[in-house]
Amino acid sequence: MKISLKWLQQYVELTVAPEDLAHRLTMAGFEIEDIEYQGSVYDKFVVGEVLEVNKHPKADRLTVCKVNTGTEVVQIVCGAPNVAVGQRVPVGLSGAVIPHNQHDPEGKPFALSHVKLRGVDSFGMICSAHELGLGDDKDGIMVFDAHAKVGAPLAQYLGKDDIIFEVGITPNRPDAMSHFGIAREVAALLDVKANLPKFQLKESDVSVQQHAKILIEDTENCPRYSGRVMFNVNVADSPKWLQNYLLAIGLRPVNNVVDITNYVLMELGHPLHAFDYDTLAGKTIVVKRAKQGEKFTTLDHKERTLTGDTLMICDGERSIGVAGVMGGENTEITHATKNVLLESAYFNPASIRRTSKYLGISTDASQRFERGANPNVTTFALDRATALLQELCGAKVLKGTIDVYPVPVKPKRVPLRIGRTNRVLGTSLTKDDITTLLNKIELTSIPSTNSPSRDEVMIEAPTFRVDIEREIDVIEEVARVYGYDNIQTDARANLSFYEHPPKKDFSDEIRDWLIGRGCKEVVANSMCDIETAAVTSKDFVEVANPISKDMAALRTSTIPGMLNIVRNNIFHGSKDIRLFEIGRIYFKTNSQAHKNSDSFVPGYYEENRLAIAFSGLSNPRHWNEQPRQTTLFDLKGELEAFFCKLFLDNYKFIPYSTDNSLTDSGLVIHLSGKESGYVGKIRPEIMKRYEIEQDVFVAEISIPNLEIARECERTYRPLPKYPSALRDVAIVIDEEISVETLTMAIRESGGPLLKQIELFDIYRGNQIAAGKKSCAISLEFNSEEQTLAQEQIDTIVTSILNHLQVTLNASLRT
Amino acid sequence: MHEAIETLKRSALAELSTSGDLQALEHFRISYLARKGQIAELFDKLKDAPPEQKPALGKALNEMRRSIESQFEEKKARLETGQKKKSIHLDLTLPGLRPWVGSKHPITQTLDEIKRIFLGMGFQVETGPEIEDDYHNFGALNFPPDHPARDMQDTFFISNDVVLRTHTSPVQIRVMETQKPPIRALIPGRVYRNEAISARSYCLFHQVEGLYVDTNVTFAELKGTLVAFAKQFYGSSLKYRFRPSFFPFTEPSAEMDITCFLCKAKGCRVCKNTGWLEILGCGMVDPNVFQSVNYDPEMYTGYAFGMGIERIAMLRYGIDDIRILFENDIRFLSQF
Ligand SMILES: [Zn+2]
């Protein structure tokens, strides 16, 4: 909230500079987020006195003036017709910035400097109201009161020299949401006293009891209701000083009655509400809950539908205000208002918050009530406002206050252990230190009757400190007043070690590998539109209150987000893509497997996925190599290399039998027999939707499955003692037979000595029959017992070839 | 026979050494190494040798042939390169054949750096779900229902009592529900806030949170740990301060500021002319939090701290718009 230092000074003497005060408040937990120097606009402007006015030698419309600025006499060329000797005028000196340039079509500000006007030196400017941003008068210079002090800073003369603090007040400190509340903190910081405003109130002889009744039906949600009635209230504009205070903290003046309630709210932090007394049926106030579905029009002229839970202020017949949130249109103060009933009540914070949330109205009043107002300040705030109404609106105040307060709230008492305080903070404060600190903020120690231990002290907190309920709340106050910076920095970490082994972060390993392989990591939004989420799973999770339609669901695949990134990069000219992401996807689930897991909320499942996208050139352009476009085998090979690096021996790539929703030609990845992802080429329809015109290959793999598949300890295998023998064969098979089938058939028939099978060439052409392909394969044989003889290898190769011939109708290419 | 092998070897090597160009070398090859050359002739004679000597002679012959072959190849290669050097100029200033260069996202880099420091202090990484229930995200963390503290974090709801977590703190609860003290957990993760997207805020960001619970953990120790972290991360010359703040799940609560390293504490736009940068929030674990996980608050105390990774990355790299972190433009990623 905004705090005006001028206003604050009414209650506490500010013995330090504003910047120092800002620092101290910040260090006490009231962060000063911004300091606004109102007067800075009028920097280098002073009140000047016109000493001489002479004709300009070369221009009839200009005059050459001598002006006393308090410290010197300067020569100023002036074009205003009304300038005259003896006037007190606003003078901008060299370096001042004129807020409004009258000669500029847009009125842009400009800085003053020493100029020559038609050959005559001019060292400043005498300004019009329009130029200063103080009004519309642009025909002549502004002329001040003859008593204006010559040389005074203009901001000071105009009363626009206030300094405004933007204070960040944490939700636990509603007591500080006012000028007096901040004054209390300032007093504690500066070791001075904060004084409540003083006022006088003259009551008439007529008792208020004869003219109004107050009845609380719901005392749980309204523990106290105080009211006063006053007659002959003259509703008009507020005086300038009051308007200036409100304007300084960003409030718009309305009329004197409303302005006074706002002023007292900002002064004492207690919300008040004024009703037009003559509109009150039965001159009665009843506090009760609304009827379910009741319609009510609030001050902002909006019709609201209420729930049976809404606490209402009613008169003898109808609702007249939503308690603690906003008054009703039907009893609003208008210029016709003559008589006023002023409310100063205390409402249950939870009730006000529910209403405020439900109606979607947050007001200065509701913000204070829902955080917790002070039930024991209602009558003081009421009297303060009433006195101002009497002073500024001529109100005739009826005698007495109607104060319904069945169960008065008493100050809270909290026992505080000195030892515990020091144990939590790491301090060594004595009982005296602690009570002295707490006394500064009105937390007093109470001599206890039931002989407390020497370690304990009973602390009583005033009722405005709604945040103090437990010992730890008091310990925090000890720390705050002592100063966090005065608590030593104990770098001796009290080391106790975990017993269970640390989790290895598998994602880090994946990331490092892929980065080494030339891929760039991306971090994408995990929210997407419903249509996108639905493409990859019907079990998508919807957001009940999304920011926009584009983010109404959680993603069920990492690929659409990746495609957006690919598209944007291509659009910006980066056409060669090697990107990856490690990120989560989200589902609703009824699966028992996930239900019993205590790491997810029942009904939901999240999984970490690895997404990779390749597109464009397979390698950077080289001066001695032909560039080649990426193919599916680049990405598949990248995965094979990675699986090899992880020593996965139980993985399989199985070509799709039917199309996947995002990709067409591609393969499903099985890890340890479990379907765990896929690699493929993005379908043309999807490419069109994302406006991508070059082939994009993607892979998505479940990281938990990957982690399970590789969960095996590595143990050393002795190196082969005897050299391996290599044998190359070219096998001709039907085009339809996959290389994988061929490899498996070789594996089946190769026996234990066959260690490696490597395809190194495929040939189709006129040297072999149509519809056939020749696969050149290198076979590696090795024995643990001996160097293999040619004849042994021949035997194995022959048996492989026989097997291939029988099972695949394969032949050896000769 | 052994002598014949030796003699042939000597004469071959002598001739090889005098073959000064590729043409002479070809003569040498035909004379010695070709199918009908002198070495092959010697092999032919092997079949007439006595059977018991055959293995030893065969071995000697093979060795001799291999030796001459390798020296021949070596010489040939030398002569060939020499010739090439004369005909083609090899420009060694040509660029190398570079592969693609990868990069780690700046958010990950920043998190890695933070992790490295805290792991060194004995913290261990823990994670939890992003779809979280109201209890773990709020209730157990001492945000009572109908309490204004809930307004501190604009929340995305999935249903009445399921939310997208607004902070990583629910993982504190999950860790304490399943483990006994001492606990030293470091909790990184993605969190969500229902705020309008702008240069300063995005609908999601990443936090890293620390939790330490043991007997006799003090506020002084919290300060010590975080100062040690800040000095390692931002440099040992920085100044710091702790100011009181409010979080429902810690008490006392604090915010830690360090001197602005962008303007050397002189005041700039980023530090709003204060010379200070807020880097993290922290505090002593509130007894109510311990009660919700059945820890005895009289026996254990603890501290928790948390920071926004994007904010730290932005300060670190001078990034002024959070959205660029999520655009993943390759021209941006290549800078890290
Ligand atoms: Zn700075």
Can you tell me the ipTM of this complex? 0.85
Cα dihedral A645, A646, A651, A655 in deg (nearest 10):
-50
More confident residue, B114 or A158: B114
Q: Which among A31, A543, A574 has the least Cβ separation from residue B331?
A: A574
Residues A139 and A264 in one domain: no
Q: Which among B98, B102, B196 has the least Cβ separation from residue A517?
A: B102
Enclosing domain of residue A646: 506-710
Residue A190 lies in a domain: no
Residue A158 has a pLDDT of 86
For residue A593, pLDDT beyond 80: no
Residue A597 has a pLDDT of 56
Residue A26 lies in a domain: no
For residue A331, pLDDT beyond 70: yes
Q: Which among B105, B129, B178 has the least Cβ separation from residue A522?
A: B105
B332: contact with A, CB 8 A cutoff? no
What is the DSSP code string of B201-219?
--SEEEEEEEEEEETT--H
- Residue B276, φ and ψ in degrees, nearest 5: -120, 145
Identify the residue among B146, B157, B186 best suited for mutation to test binding to A, counting A beta carbons within 10 A and taking the highest.
Answer: B146
Interchain proximity B246–A371, CB inside 8 Å: no
How much distance in Å is there from the Cα of B317 to the middle of ligand 1? 14
Residue A134 has a pLDDT of 80
Residue A767 has a pLDDT of 86
In the A/B pair of chains, how many CB contacts fall below 8 A? Answer: 256
Q: Which among B219, B287, B329 has the least Cβ separation from residue A425?
A: B219
Residue A471 has a pLDDT of 96
Interchain proximity B284–A521, CB inside 8 Å: no
Q: Which of A359, A381, A404 is the last residue of a domain?
A: A404
State whether residue A686 is helix, strand or coil.
helix
Q: Which among B130, B214, B253 has the least Cβ separation from residue A494?
A: B214
Nearby residues of A205 by Cβ (< 8 Å), 6 or more positions away: A399
The 10s digit of each residue's pLDDT in A714-760 is 888 889 899 999 999 999 999 999 999 999 999 999 999 999 999 99
Residue A215 has a pLDDT of 96
Identify whether the C-beta of residue A431 lies closer than 8 Å to the C-beta of residue A418: yes
Residue A21 lies in a domain: no
* Chain A closest-CA separation from residue B65 CA (Å): 22
Residues A426 and A398 in one domain: no
Nearby residues of B163 by Cβ (< 8 Å), 6 or more positions away: B131, B132, B133, B134, B137, B138, B155, B156, B157
For residue A8, pLDDT beyond 60: yes
Tokens of A93: 């000196």
- What letter represents residue B192's amino acid? Y
* Chain A closest-CA separation from residue B295 CA (Å): 16
Interchain proximity B252–A476, CB inside 8 Å: yes
More confident residue, A270 or A710: A270
Do strands A124-126 and A88-93 pair parallel, antiparallel, or not at all (unpaired)?
antiparallel
Residues A583 and A672 in one domain: yes
For residue A224, pLDDT beyond 60: yes
B252: contact with A, CB 8 A cutoff? yes
Residues A467 and A566 in one domain: no
Residues A396 and A419 in one domain: no
How much distance in Å is there from the Cα of B259 to the middle of ligand 1? 8
Q: Which of A404, A432, A462 is the last residue of a domain?
A: A404
Residue A496 has a pLDDT of 61
Identify the residue among B243, B276, B322, B334 best suited for mutation to test binding to A, counting A beta carbons within 10 A and taking the highest.
Answer: B243
Residue A207 lies in a domain: yes
For residue A659, pLDDT beyond 70: no
Residue A22 lies in a domain: no
Residues A360 and A219 in one domain: yes
For residue A497, pLDDT beyond 70: no
Residue A492 has a pLDDT of 62
Tokens of A800: 């492989």
Tokens of B330: 């390759």
Residue A33 lies in a domain: no
Q: Which of A388, A404, A420 is the last residue of a domain?
A: A404
Contacting B residues, span 102-141, partner chain A, CB-CB under 8 Å: 102-105, 107-108, 112, 121-122, 124-126, 128-133, 136
| Chain A residues with beta carbon closer than 8 angstroms to that of B174 | 598-599
Tokens of A258: 């409303």
Residues A740 and A700 in one domain: no
Which residue in the block uniquely carries the two structure tokens 């990868």?
B102
Residue A325 lies in a domain: yes
Residue B77 has a pLDDT of 83
Residue A316 lies in a domain: yes
For residue A712, pLDDT beyond 80: no
The 10s digit of each residue's pLDDT in A159-216 is 888 999 999 999 999 999 999 999 999 999 999 999 999 999 999 999 999 999 999 9
Which range, A97-106, A593-602, B166-175, is most confident?
B166-175
Residues A104 and A52 in one domain: yes
Interchain proximity A601–B242, CB inside 8 Å: no
Find the mean pLDDT for residues A648-658: 85
B336: contact with A, CB 8 A cutoff? no
Residues A399 and A467 in one domain: no
For residue A613, pLDDT beyond 60: yes
| Chain B residues with beta carbon closer than 8 angstroms to that of A598 | 174, 177-178
CATH of the domain at A749: 3.30.70.380
- Residue B332, φ and ψ in degrees, nearest 5: -80, -50
How much distance in Å is there from the Cα of B314 to the middle of ligand 1? 13
Tokens of A719: 């190196």
Closest CA to A258 of A285, A237, A289: A237
pTM: 0.83
Interchain proximity B94–A623, CB inside 8 Å: yes
How much distance in Å is there from the Cα of A38 to the middle of ligand 1? 23
For residue A416, pLDDT beyond 90: yes
Residues A512 and A457 in one domain: no
Identify the residue among A34, A371, A496, A519 best suited for mutation to test binding to B, counting B beta carbons within 10 A and taking the highest.
Answer: A496
Q: Which residues does chain B have with pLDDT short of 50?
A: none
Q: What is the mean pLDDT of chain A?
A: 92
Identify the residue among A371, A601, A609, A635 best suited for mutation to test binding to B, counting B beta carbons within 10 A and taking the highest.
Answer: A601
For residue A494, pLDDT beyond 80: no
CATH of the domain at A73: 2.40.50.140
Which range, A60-64, A474-478, B42-46, is most confident?
A474-478
Residue A592 has a pLDDT of 66
Residues A338 and A238 in one domain: yes
CATH of the domain at A549: 3.30.930.10
